[in-house]
Structure 1
Amino acid sequence: MPESGDGRQGGASRRRGAVLEEAILRAAAEVLGEAGVDGLTMDEVARRAGTNKNAIYRRWPNRVALGVAAYRRLAATEVTVPDTGSLRQDALELLRRANSTWSSPYGEILRGLISAAGSTPELLAELRAPAAEGDAYEDAWTAAVGRAVARGEAPPGSQHPRVVSVPVALLRNEYVTRGVPAVPDAVLAEIVDEVFLPLLRGRGGAA
């Protein structure tokens, strides 16, 4: 029986497009989670996805590009919104949760990918950009700031996407540029007290 373009036998088992891409990313995420960046190989991903390397190379030019795409899937998470009654405490709690996630094995994978990407600007930009988990954190920050606005603790307009993304962007920058295994809690407090809250106050009200 002839094989399909993804290396599987033809007929009902043939996979294409988004279905095959999903299988490849799922397999790559599994390898990253188990063996880290050094253990990510096209051969192993192809084996787990039930396809061949050509099907992978048509979508990603090398294992690092595949790793970056898989990391964005692996790091996807649902973020609950704290409600302490204080914007400062909510902000610190959100940063601590993100810090805990990024200092876990996920953070080690991220640092490994940054190192492997070297000076490739496209891959480094993709790692710096908000991934799935970045979107989740932004939604949580938007909700937390919205509660603060309703309490009169933050001025109207504070939920602007550029504003709510600042704390997570600064935390991510600590990992990307400094290569630290974990960010000290004192730095999280600085992000909140020296940057985020003053930024809100500058939008016309007291935070």
Structure 2
Amino acid sequence: MHLKQPLRRRRGAQLEDALLTAAWGEIREHGYGGLTFEGVAARAHTSRSVVRRRWADKQELARAAVAHQGQQIHTDVPDTGTLRGDVLGLLSHASERLSGMLEMFIFRFGVHFAETGTSLAELRATYLGDRKSSMDAARRRAAERGEIDSAVVPTRISRLPFDLVRNEVIMTLGSVPVEVLEEIVDTIFLPLVQPGPAGDRRRS
């Protein structure tokens, strides 16, 4: 329930930011099924017509809200001096962020998937936008230190630790324990990318 307040005069980016923040708030509270232009307008303290002028339907509005929310996320790539430390830091951050994001997507956007025929992967791509992978910087530094040969690390292997963490979060709906993150890095990821018998077998 939103208390009636005077309409606020905002324009341009400031207005759009307020509307998309309000739309995300409505989805978080009521789910995609409960998203309405009226609810967004009330939360943003503006009129329904202001919202309708910018987005043709609630599918478009929801996608814009997801993309806007994704733009608020900024990841600082840790520089621990080792690839292991950097990747563990990135996975720890990803685990904390993903537990909230995936819960939101799975439970609040179910109606959206059914209505649009889209998937969780497509919604995630909207959320991520054109952000570069945080693994790129960690991998580049590791190559400069001589820990890996970046030329022989395929994209899928670079993504593998995050894919495994995401699977853990989906299955448990919670953050991933440190010991599981260490297992992913030490027994799966590093043997695939660092010089040695495992790396030699992969390259052959």
CA gap of 1:148–1:123, structure 2 versus 1, over 3 A, is same
Counterpart CA distance in 2 for 1:160 and 1:53 is: 48
RMSD of aligned alpha carbons: 3.9
Number of residues of Structure 1 aligned to a counterpart in Structure 2: 188
Give the C-alpha shift of residue 151 in structure 1.
Answer: 0.8
Give the C-alpha shift of residue 152 in structure 1.
Answer: 0.7
**Residue deviations 1:79-124, cap 9 Å, x none?**
11212222112111110011112234x4542332343434444253
Corresponding position: 1:142 with 2:136:
yes
Corresponding position: 1:166 with 2:160:
yes
* Structure 2 residue aligned with 1:110: 105
* Structure 2 residue aligned with 1:94: 90
Corresponding position: 1:70 with 2:72:
no
* Structure 2 residue aligned with 1:131: 127
Counterpart CA distance in 2 for 1:194 and 1:130 is: 32
Corresponding position: 1:122 with 2:107:
no
Counterpart CA distance in 1 for 2:164 and 2:53 is: 34
**Residue deviations 1:59-84, cap 9 Å, x none?**
36436x64453233224311112122
* Structure 2 residue aligned with 1:4: none
Q: Judge conservation of contact 1:149–1:158 (CA < 8 Å) in 2.
A: no
Give the C-alpha shift of residue 36 in structure 1.
Answer: 5.9
Q: Secondary structure at the match of 1:103?
A: helix
Give the C-alpha shift of residue 37 in structure 1.
Answer: 2.9
**Quick check: which one's helix share is greater?**
2
* Structure 1 residue aligned with 2:192: 199
* Structure 2 residue aligned with 1:3: none
Q: Secondary structure at the match of 1:59?
A: coil
CA gap of 1:62–1:89, structure 2 versus 1, over 3 A, is same
Matches within 5 A, 1:175-190: 175-176=169-170, 178=171, 180-190=173-183
Give the C-alpha shift of residue 25 in structure 1.
Answer: 1.5
Q: Judge conservation of contact 1:27–1:49 (CA < 8 Å) in 2.
A: no
Tell me which amino acid in the other structure corresponds to 1:109. M
* Structure 2 residue aligned with 1:5: none
Q: Secondary structure at the match of 2:175?
A: coil
Give the C-alpha shift of residue 134 in structure 1.
Answer: 8.2
Counterpart CA distance in 2 for 1:169 and 1:60 is: 34
| Greater Cα shift, 74-83 or 187-196 | 187-196
Q: Judge conservation of contact 1:68–1:126 (CA < 8 Å) in 2.
A: no
Tell me which amino acid in the other structure corresponds to 1:128. R
Which among 73, 79, 82 is matched to residue 83 of structure 1?
Answer: 79
| Greater Cα shift, 112-121 or 94-103 | 112-121
Matches within 5 A, 1:19-58: 21-32=16-27, 35=29, 37=31, 40-47=35-42, 48=44, 50-52=46-48, 55-56=51-52
